[in-house]
Each structure stands twice: as C-alpha cells, then as structure tokens.
Structure 1
Amino acid sequence: MQINPLRASIGWRWVRDGFSLLKRQPIALLAITFLNLMLLSLSVVIPLVGAVSPLVLTPALMVGLMHAVRAAETGRMPSPALLFAGFRDAGGKAWRPLLVLGAFNAAATLTALALAALADGGELMRLATGRAGSDAVVPDDTSLLYAAIVFVLVYTPIQMAMWYAPLMVAWHRVPPAKALFFSFFAVWRNKGAFLVFGASWFGVAFVASLGVRLLDSLLGDSPVLLSMLLSPLSLVLITAVYCSFWATYRDAVVDAQLRPPG
C-alpha cells in the first residue's frame, strides 16, 4: 500500500466526483446514508456508553458506506447490508480494530472538547453534546470563538489520523496505531488537495445556505414546508460528501482499485 502525491486541484474534482457517484445509484445510496444516520442517532440509547457510541461506531459504519459507494462506482446495486460489511472484512476480524479506532475517535474528540472548554467554560461542549440550546449562546461571545479555534486546532490532526485509518484497518489489515500514523501522513502529503477539498465543500455549503434563505423568504411563514424541503436537501448533500470520501481514497491509495480483502 502506497500513497500517491496529488496536485491541489484534484480536491475540487473529489467534490464533483461525490455528486457524480451519487447519480449512479441515488436511491440506494441515499437509503444507506439515511440508515447510517438513523443507527448513529439510535445508538445514543445504549446504556453507559450512549453519549459516545456514535463516535465509537462511526469508523466501522464508514467502511460499510465506502463498500456501498465502491459498488455504485462499479455499476453494482448497493444493498443496505453493505453498511455492516466492515464488521465482516479481514476474514471477519476487522470489527475489533475498527472498534479500537472508534474508542480512539471518542476519546480524542472528547479531549479536544475538554481543551476547548478551558477557553469558554464548557459552552462549546454543551452545544456539541446537545445539553444547551443555540439560543443560550451570546452571538458576540469571544470566549466561544476562542474555544472553537482551540477545538479546530486540536481536532484537525485527529481527523487527519482518522481519515483513511478505518479502510487501512479493514482492507489492508494494518494495526490501528499504524493505520492512524499512516493516515495522518497520507493526508499531510496531499494537504494541498485536502485544503481545496475542504474549501470546495465550504463553498457548496455556502451556496446551499443562500438557497435555503431564498426559499425561506419565498415561502414566508411556513416552517413545516421549509423543513420538508430541507430534509431531502440535507440528505443529498451528506450522501455526496460520503461519496467524495471514497474519491479521496480511490485516487490517493495506489492499490485502491484492487478488491478489498475479505
């Protein structure tokens, strides 16, 4: 397994590929994304670990999503069962290291929030965990801004380490610690492409938000109708983001075209 050095402009192509891949099997991919989001939401009711269970399950379910997007790219119909394919990878042994990655993801995320709490007394953490409403935040609260900056600075390298790690664990049988290390430096090696990738998705989100504001002004005081329009739009964008994740792996990892070992 090797990592291709890529030019920065490919970051925008990853975003376009996300939408192109979604167009190949839109109903199936939207349904699998909805199932993924529903499972993550329902997982919070798990006793004792409910608050962090979505973070723990995300790596394994992400592998399943990549199975689904890969199937769509090769012309096959993704089935909902593919969402759980990560648990069956590596001869049925991938679930253990994937859960180890999930535990790391949860611990690292909570650590980033805890460090951010030093700047704002924990307001950002209460918002992130749903223990405070957005109306409780003062718009010009500089401490919240500082907390957000601290969180981004700490969380960015965590995300870099987690980006490819689940696929490296499940498809290449790399131990979790090494997968985190290799993933971090793989993203760093193509940091230009990832900066363009992130900026491009920010642009897409900005344009979408402008469209939402326009719809809001046209619909007037009709929150129910607006919600009916926003829910499908959000699902489409989230699914396109997942599809673009696959594009970043397919282009960067040299043997991504090979069949993942089962």
Structure 2
Amino acid sequence: MNPDDRNPFESAPDAARPAPDGDSAFRPVAGEPDSRTVDAGQGLEWLRQGWQAFIAAPGVWVVITLLWVTAVVVLNLVPLFGMIAATLLAMVTVGGLMTGCRALSRGEPFGVHHLWAGFGDRINPLLLLGGLYLLASLAIGMLVVLLSAIGAGLAGLAAVAGLAMLMAAIPAMFIVAIMLMAPVLMAVWFAPALVVFHDMKALEAMKLSFFASLRNAPAFVVFALLYVVLVVLASIPAMLGWLVLLPVTFGAMYASYRDVFNQA
C-alpha cells in the first residue's frame, strides 16, 4: 500500500497528459482500447512514475525482484528447457505485476502475491505472448549468427584487411540485432497489460502494442536513451542497482500503458 495514499502514477504538474484528438487515436479493430500520441518528453515522465512506484513500496519491490531473479537463475540451470520456461513465464509474471501497479495507482494493497497474479484466467494468452516472443528472439538470433558467419567468412577471404573487416563487422551485427529486436520489443511492451486489462488475445495485443509504440516513437527514443544510462549505472555496483531498476522498469511499463491508452 502506498503509505501516503498518493497515486505514484499521477503526472507531474508540467507533464499533464494532453487530451486525445481525432488524429491521435488508433483503433485497428472495433472494441480495442484507443491509443494516442504523447509528447516525446513523456519518455522521461514514465521513468519518473516508475521511480515513484518503487518508492511507494520499496520493500515489496525488492522482495519481488529477488524472487523473480532467483527463479530465472534456477530455471536457466536446466539446459534448454529452463531457458524456454523462463521466457514463457516472464510474460505471465509481467502481467501479474501490471495488476500490482494498477493496485498501487488505486491505493489498493500491493504485495508479493502480485508476482504470480498472472497465473489465473489470462495465463494462456500470456504464455502465448512468451512463446511468440521466444520464437521471434530465436529467429533473430539465428539470423544474426548467420550474418556474422557470412561476414567472418568474407573477412577471411581478404588476407590483409581480414582482421579490420572482422572488427568492423562486430559492431555492425550488434546494430543489426538491435534494429531487428526493436519491432519485437514494440509488439510486447504493452501486450501484457492489454491481455490482462482488456481481455485481448495474444496476437491482437501484440499488434495493438506495436502500432501504439510506433506512433509514440519519439517518446520511446527518449525513454531508451535514458534507460541505457540507467542500465550502466545499475550494473556498476555489482549489479545491485537492478534491485531498483527492475521495479522502476515495471512501473514505467504501466505508466506508459496508462498514458498512451489514457487509462485512469
């Protein structure tokens, strides 16, 4: 429970959400929630609200993070199956944490039980979300490996410039991987919240999430640039900063969903 009963997902006074207009609504299929275009500066506002969500219940968030990280580590000790299970269950746990964030926004009790709140009647579409994300990630990974192998082979054919070409290919493949993963991340960013709160199917939620993210690309660019800095800072003290950054990330996900889809 937020101790002072304030909503951590309220916008700052200078970051009030604009009212949607005719050009900022996107409804691919009747009955789906409207998305709208927000200012680029909202990328920073989402992180601010994510931080507010963390400080509203820091002890609960740290316990949730420790339990989740422990579960992921244990699952990944099992060859192949563990990685698959961890990825499938990730969307289920994120869906549950979205309900926890909504509880915080409404001044309702927030607890560790929200970590497994997704294991209910919406578990099947959430598991499918995880499966589709896993398949897309594996396909992209295989493509990057293939391109890297081709690049290394071409570099080997150039006797003198081979090493230089190989070194240039490494950052190039990293950029390619980011560009390929960006649409996948766009498709799953809002999807857990859409599945849980709007009873949407996995593919429908991914489609709506992708287009909502696309129309708000400037805000997500601001968010991503700031997030990279936070990742570096969180990783410096023996990764301990992730005990804060992960909860902030979940809070920012909910804040962006609430903002873009104009949810109370």
For the criterion TM > 0.5, the same-fold answer is: yes
* Letter of the structure 1 residue corresponding to residue 103 of structure 2: A
Q: Paired residue for 2:248?
A: 240
- Please give the TM-score of this superposition, normalised by the length of structure 1: 0.76
Deviations 1:137-174 (A, max 9, x none): xxx83332222122111111011011111221222111
Query: 2: distance between equivalents of 1:155 and 1:44?
Result: 22
Q: Paired residue for 1:55?
A: 87
Q: Paired residue for 2:64?
A: 32
Equivalences for residues 68-217 of structure 1 within 5 A: 68-88=100-120, 92=121, 94-121=122-149, 141-206=167-232, 212=236
Contact 1:29 1:68 in 2 (8 A): no
Query: 2: distance between equivalents of 1:170 and 1:26?
Result: 24
Report which of the two has the higher share of helix: 1
Query: 2: distance between equivalents of 1:19 and 1:149?
Result: 29
Secondary structure of the 1:202 match is helix
Contact 1:119 1:146 in 2 (8 A): no
Query: 1: distance between equivalents of 2:226 and 2:215?
Result: 19
Q: Which has the larger radius of gyration?
A: 2
What stretches of structure 1 move > 6 A for 4+ residues in a row?
Answer: none
* Letter of the structure 2 residue corresponding to residue 96 of structure 1: N
Query: 1: distance between equivalents of 2:238 and 2:105?
Result: 27
CA distance 1:232–1:205, change in 2 (3 Å) = closer
Secondary structure of the 2:238 match is helix
Query: 2: distance between equivalents of 1:58 and 1:13?
Result: 25
1:78 offset after TM fit, Å? 1.8
Query: 1: distance between equivalents of 2:106 and 2:85?
Result: 32
Contact 2:95 2:126 in 1 (8 A): no
CA distance 1:208–1:34, change in 2 (3 Å) = closer
Number of aligned residue pairs: give it.
218
Query: 1: distance between equivalents of 2:247 and 2:82?
Result: 25
Contact 1:40 1:57 in 2 (8 A): no
- Please give the TM-score of this superposition, normalised by the length of structure 2: 0.75
Q: CA RMSD in A?
A: 2.3
Q: Is the counterpart of residue 252 in structure 1 residue 260 in structure 2? A: yes
Secondary structure of the 2:240 match is helix
Query: 2: distance between equivalents of 1:43 and 1:99?
Result: 16
Contact 2:234 2:240 in 1 (8 A): no
Query: 2: distance between equivalents of 1:56 and 1:121?
Result: 29
1:208 offset after TM fit, Å? 5.3
1:71 offset after TM fit, Å? 2.2
Query: 1: distance between equivalents of 2:232 and 2:116?
Result: 33
